[in-house]
Structure 1
Amino acid sequence: MMDQSRLNEAIQFGKSLTETIQGIELPSDSRIDAAAVCYGMVINHFDAILLTLQNNIYASSLSLERIQLEALINGEWIRLCASEDQIESLLQKDKYPITTCKRIEQIEEKGAQTTEEWGGELKKYFDDNWKELCSYTHSSARHLLQWAAGHTIEPNYNNGELLGLLDRAERILASAIIAVATIANSSEASNKIEEIMSRKWPAISSAAMPSMIRQDMSLPLAGFHLEG
């Protein structure tokens, strides 16, 4: 069962972070509108992870991490990399014009040229965890091996696995919130975000806060690992 005190901490952290961008004014064009929707979905998925954890619906909690990560990747790619033609194609055809791996490569390349630094960690996070995240989302071995334990069919997720999920979901959320404040060019929101995250992760220096939060996302999946 999920540690309630840790869950309460995550609920408060998410609430405090999202409040920093409530009602914030964003420039309006197709790029920013589409990216902002993706960041909004990151927040929704984070809330859904919390809700399912609160209600011990752990299979759904773990299945949501992939789509939360995808929403962040898509928002970053649209905001930083996509051409106007690619955005129009996405909106018209309901399909991303390049693969997820290619989108990540472009995000990393663009970030290296600006202050939007990922330092290779988005790609590392994807490479290290994507197979397992897909397994959760598609009801594959990660779920099957944990439900079919012994002589009963019931969930058997360990606490370390759930805590790992929560840690990563918080970092994905933080990256999306940082992106929204960046789009808005709001020093007020940025200062509030920095204060909240400095309390959460005191080891990270304030000067390096945006990039280091992103670079600290690359945590291994907790819990058991599949053989082979």
Structure 2
Amino acid sequence: MQLDHLLAKAQSLAYRISAEYNGQPLPDDRRACAAIGCLTVAQQHHCGIILLLRNDMPVHASAFALIGPQIETAFNALWLWYCATEEEITRYLSDGSGKSMRQLVTQVDSALAGRDGQEAAIVRGHWARLSDFVFSGERRIRRWLDANEVDALYSEEAVTELVELSNSMAELGLASYRTIHDKHFTAVRNELARGLRVDQAK
């Protein structure tokens, strides 16, 4: 029952994030566009995990398989926004970052260290679980070997851990989207206001 409640909350979070993303104009900036594109894909992985787990016949192995891409894509977005040079952005748009998940997480963690703001707080708050997944290697096979019989369903504890980590990555993505969106559109509003003042002064 506790897991059902957690999954219902996860689905509500997914709807809320999708509503905030959908229909918004893209900024006229390739760094921002690339990062937002990654965040959208990461959010799709979050939705996929929820759908697979809430199915009448839950598909646990496939849900677990999506958490890696969700983390990697979310941290690609953060890396593009906070770390990548212009040359690296150009390379990313044609060939990807070429970085491992471990490298992405390490560089982003370094860039956010000492910063205020929701992104840094989320990374710090979930660092133990995140680093356990990223730095401890692949653990999905071990989940299958913990039981004494063949069973397609993972333990409730394992699924709960997955959903909590996926939710934290979704919240990180939303915080990053707001950072990018607010920075860009604040600049646009300021530019429009300056233009209006110039026109009024003529």
Q: Which residue of structure 1 aligns with residue 192 of structure 2?
A: none
Q: Distance in 2 between matches of 1:132 and 1:145?
A: 17
Shift of 1:111: 1.7
The question of 1:177 aligning with 2:181 is answered no
Query: Which amino acid counterpart does residue 47 of structure 2 have in structure 1?
Result: D
- 1:66-117 deviations in whole A, cap 9, x for unaligned? 111111111100111100111112223x242444333323222322364456
Secondary structure (helix, strand or coil) at the match of 2:28 reads coil
Are positions 1:155 and 2:152 aligned together? yes
After TM superposition, the structure 1 = structure 2 runs for residues 1-228 of structure 1, keeping only pairs within 5 Å, are: 3-55=3-55, 56-92=58-94, 94-112=95-113, 114-116=115-117, 118=120, 121=124, 124-130=128-134, 134-136=138-140, 141-146=141-146, 149-150=148-149, 153-185=150-182
TM-score, with length taken from structure 1:
0.67
Partner of 1:4, secondary structure, is helix
> Per-residue deviation at 1:174?
0.8
CA distance in 1, matches of 2:116, 2:85: 20
- Tell me the TM-score normalised to structure 2 length: 0.75
Cα distance in 2, alignment partners of residues 91 and 110 from structure 1: 21
RMSD: 2.7
Equivalences, count: 178
CA contact (8 A) 1:42 1:68 kept: yes
Q: Relative to 1, partners in 2 of residues 1:98 and 1:65: Cα closer, same or farther, differing over 3 Å?
A: closer
Identify, as 1 or 2, the structure richer in helix: 2
- Contiguous gaps of at least 5 residues in structure 1: 187-228
Separation in 1, partners of 2:66, 2:99: 23
Measured after TM superposition, the shift of residue 124 of structure 1 is 4.4
Q: What is the identity, as a one-letter code, of the residue corresponding to 1:37? A: G
Distance 2:160 2:144 in 1: 20
* Unaligned ranges ≥5, structure 2: 184-202
Distance 1:6 1:98, change over 3 A: closer
Q: In the alignment, is the contact (CA less than 8 A) between 1:2 and 1:162 conserved in 2?
A: no
Q: Which digits, 9 at most, give the CA deviation of each residue in 1:205-224, with x for residues without a partner?
A: xxxxxxxxxxxxxxxxxxxx
